């Protein structure tokens, strides 16, 4: 680990280490502005590679974020190398010459450890170090299954993933590409992507293939629908297939916002209950229609 930190810190600390080494020679030599620019470019390139590699699975941000963060990393490494050479080397090694072999190694170790901590922080911020539940059960002998837990990146909104997406009309799921629109504890909310032609439907939109599907087929993504819930263990890979195209992502956000702001439909009125006819007893006489009951009359035909 120490060797890795020293190897990583060497190119990042070059803008400070090499001028100090040249100044310690007899007679002292000085670096030209062009040489300083080359050394700074080497340090920045290594910082950009390190930061970009740590953030390759990260959430969607503006394109300038990673280059700007790499510039901050390169500057911080140069400052750290200067501080270690000016203060830590005399205190710990008892020498005023930071270009000595031990001072040189201490500066490289300090800068390398700082850069490695930077990379770990970027990965943690982007969600790459979050533990998820078992991804898929692995079949073993005699039909037994053993769950395996892996360290994978967590889905973020605006990314295309492959997962077991549930159907809307039945309690089953199938392997599909999907666009993540939100994350919740225990599950992600996604919109399914299909290769079936949905050009005749208003609730689907054609989605460009920007490398997330190797077949290169035309695809459609459901839009303006309620997202489907996919548990994190139902995602079939440990990294996204790629980002959602910006035009599609803006349309998804617009439709989802409109869907969330739409008022809930009023419940349909329930029909009034109707009285069912009374069943006729089996084998009994059929009911006869009766008119209004008349009062009894006397023998002479007059009413009493």
Within 10 A of 103 (CB to CB), how many other CB atoms are there? 22
Is residue 114 one of the residues assigned to a domain? yes
The tokens 């992507």 sit on which residue?
Answer: 193
Residues 118 and 156 in one domain: no
Is residue 6 one of the residues assigned to a domain? yes
Residues, the chain, total?
Answer: 304
Average pLDDT, 10 consecutive residues per value, the chain (304 residues) = 84 89 81 90 92 64 81 93 86 71 86 90 64 41 42 78 91 92 92 89 85 76 90 89 88 86 45 53 52 51 46
Q: What was the pLDDT predicted at 259?
A: 81
Nearest to residue 251, comparing CAs of 223, 218, 211? 223
Please count the structural domains in the chain: 2
Q: What was the pLDDT predicted at 237?
A: 85
Q: What was the pLDDT predicted at 27?
A: 83
Question: 0.85 exceeded by the pTM?
Answer: no
Is residue 231 one of the residues assigned to a domain? yes
| Nearest-angstrom CA–CA distance, 12 and 9 | 5
Q: What was the pLDDT predicted at 144?
A: 45
Residues 157 and 192 in one domain: yes
Q: What was the pLDDT predicted at 293?
A: 56
Is residue 290 one of the residues assigned to a domain? no
Nearest to residue 247, comparing CAs of 239, 255, 257? 255
Burial class of 18 by CB neighbour count within 10 A (0 to 12, 13 to 18, 19+): middle
Residues 109 and 8 in one domain: yes
Residues 64 and 164 in one domain: no
Q: What was the pLDDT predicted at 227?
A: 93
Dig out the tokens for 136 from the structure: 């898929």
Phi/psi at 35 (5° precision):
-65, -40
Per the structure, the complete domain to which residue 244 belongs is given by 150-261
Nearest to residue 119, comparing CAs of 204, 178, 54? 54
Q: What was the pLDDT predicted at 135?
A: 41
Is residue 141 one of the residues assigned to a domain? no
Within 10 A of 265 (CB to CB), how many other CB atoms are there? 6
Dig out the tokens for 265 from the structure: 């439909």
């Amino acid at each position: 680990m120490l060797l890795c930190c020293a190897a990583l810190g060497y190119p990042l600390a070059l803008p400070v280490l090499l001028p100090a080494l040249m100044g310690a020679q007899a007679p002292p030599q000085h670096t030209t502005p062009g040489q300083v620019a080359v050394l700074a470019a080497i340090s920045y390139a290594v910082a950009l590679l390190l930061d970009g590699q740590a953030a390759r699975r990260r959430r969607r941000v503006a394109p300038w974020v990673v280059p700007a963060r790499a510039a901050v990393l390169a500057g911080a490494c140069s400052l750290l190398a200067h501080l270690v050479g000016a203060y830590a080397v005399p205190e710990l090694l008892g020498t005023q010459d930071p270009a000595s072999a031990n001072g040189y190694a201490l500066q490289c170790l300090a800068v390398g450890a700082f850069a490695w901590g930077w990379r770990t922080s970027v990965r943690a911020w982007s969600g790459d170090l979050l533990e998820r539940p078992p991804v898929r059960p692995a079949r073993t002998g005699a039909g037994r299954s053993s769950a395996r837990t892996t360290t994978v990146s967590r889905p973020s909104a605006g990314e295309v993933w492959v997962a077991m997406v549930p159907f809307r009309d039945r309690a089953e799921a199938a392997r599909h590409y999907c666009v993540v629109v939100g994350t919740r504890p225990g599950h992600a909310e996604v919109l399914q992507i299909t290769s079936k032609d949905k050009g005749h439907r208003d609730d689907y939109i054609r989605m460009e293939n920007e490398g997330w599907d190797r077949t290169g087929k035309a695809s459609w993504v459901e839009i303006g629908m309620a997202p489907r819930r996919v548990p994190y263990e139902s995602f079939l890979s440990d990294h996204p297939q790629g980002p959602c195209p910006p035009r599609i992502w803006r349309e998804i956000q617009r439709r989802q916002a409109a869907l969330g702001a739409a008022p809930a439909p009023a419940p349909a009125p329930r029909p009034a209950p109707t009285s069912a006819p009374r069943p006729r007893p089996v084998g009994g006489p059929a009911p006869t229609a009766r008119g209004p009951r008349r009062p009894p009359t006397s023998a002479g035909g007059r009413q009493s």
